[in-house]
Amino acid sequence: GEDVEQSLFLSVREGDSSVINCTYTDSSSTYLYWYKQEPGAGLQLLTYIFSNMDMKQDQRLTVLLNKKDKHLSLRIADTQTGDSAIYFCAEMISDYKLSFGAGTTVTVRA
Amino acid sequence: GAVVSQHPSWVICKSGTSVKIECRSLDFQATTMFWYRQFPKQSLMLMATSNEGSKATYEQGVEKDKFLINHASLTLSTLTVTSAHPEDSSFYICSARDPGQQYEQYFGPGTRLTVT
């Protein structure tokens, strides 16, 4: 099974904020990532955070990192229908390899 | 950002045949590429690390004789699924690492393989 864990589903109303949570296990991970995957497509890097940071904000996206609890979250402000997708949390483990969570399917309802 | 392409986008083949999937970095040289497999509604599982000019490194449980990887140039890695079976049907995704980047890998759009 995955070492990175995420909740599987999230339903959110358009215009509200979405928060996706993730826990990881490798405390030596240097980079943590959020990727977006739309149906039938590859992965799009949304944002990443270096392990010595607590927070990173990039337009509508806010990443929070709690190293003590190995907890990572992604907040999407003002969620739009185009944000409906699967969101993967990932950590860089070794030799630039990435370990992915199972993905959170976000559904935005009108 | 950098672009990684995969070819074909989707392929249907018969059991027992082999199929080759290409992964290309279009505007940078990738010394390292990764191959992932994704089952429907599941995560990406790393299959192998492809290093230019040397043998690929396979993850535990991945059959190297079944999934042949060749990284003959700095912009091309290929994955050949040999003697394909229906259980090999999956979405195969590659990623490429730009040596000048510390944190980012660039993902291809994926190849859908269906074995009948």
Nearest beta carbon to residue A96 from set B6, B32, B109: B32
Residue B13 contacts A, CB cutoff 8 Å:
no
Least confident of A7-11, B42-46, B82-86: B42-46
Tally C-beta pairs within 8 A across A and B.
51
pLDDT at A1 exceeding the cut of 50: no
The residue-averaged pLDDT of A82-105 equals 92
Residue pLDDT, tens place only, A69-87: 999 999 999 999 999 999 9
Q: How confident is the model at residue A30 (pLDDT cuts 50, 70, 90)?
A: confident
Chain A: give the shortest CA distance to residue B70, in Å. Answer: 18
pLDDT for the residue B14: 97
pLDDT at B108 exceeding the cut of 80: yes
Most confident option among A23-27, B16-20, B99-103: B16-20
Write the DSSP assignment of B2-39 as a string of letters.
Answer: --EEEE-SEEEE-TT--EEEEEEESSS--SEEEEEEE-
Contacts of A45 in chain B (CB under 8 A): 1, 104, 107
Residue A44 contacts B, CB cutoff 8 Å:
yes
Q: How confident is the model at residue B1 (pLDDT cuts 50, 70, 90)?
A: low
Write the DSSP assignment of A32-83 as a string of letters.
Answer: EEEEEE-TT--EEEEEEEETT-SEEEETTEEEEEETTTTEEEEEESS--GGG
Residue A99 contacts B, CB cutoff 8 Å:
yes
Chain A: give the shortest CA distance to residue B16, in Å. Answer: 26
Write the DSSP assignment of B49-115 as a string of letters.
Answer: EEETTS--EEPTT--TTTEEEEEEETTEEEEEE-S--GGG-EEEEEEEE-TT-SS-EEE---EEEEE
Residue A5 contacts B, CB cutoff 8 Å:
no
pLDDT at B37 exceeding the cut of 50: yes
Encoding tokens for residue B95?
A: 């990623």
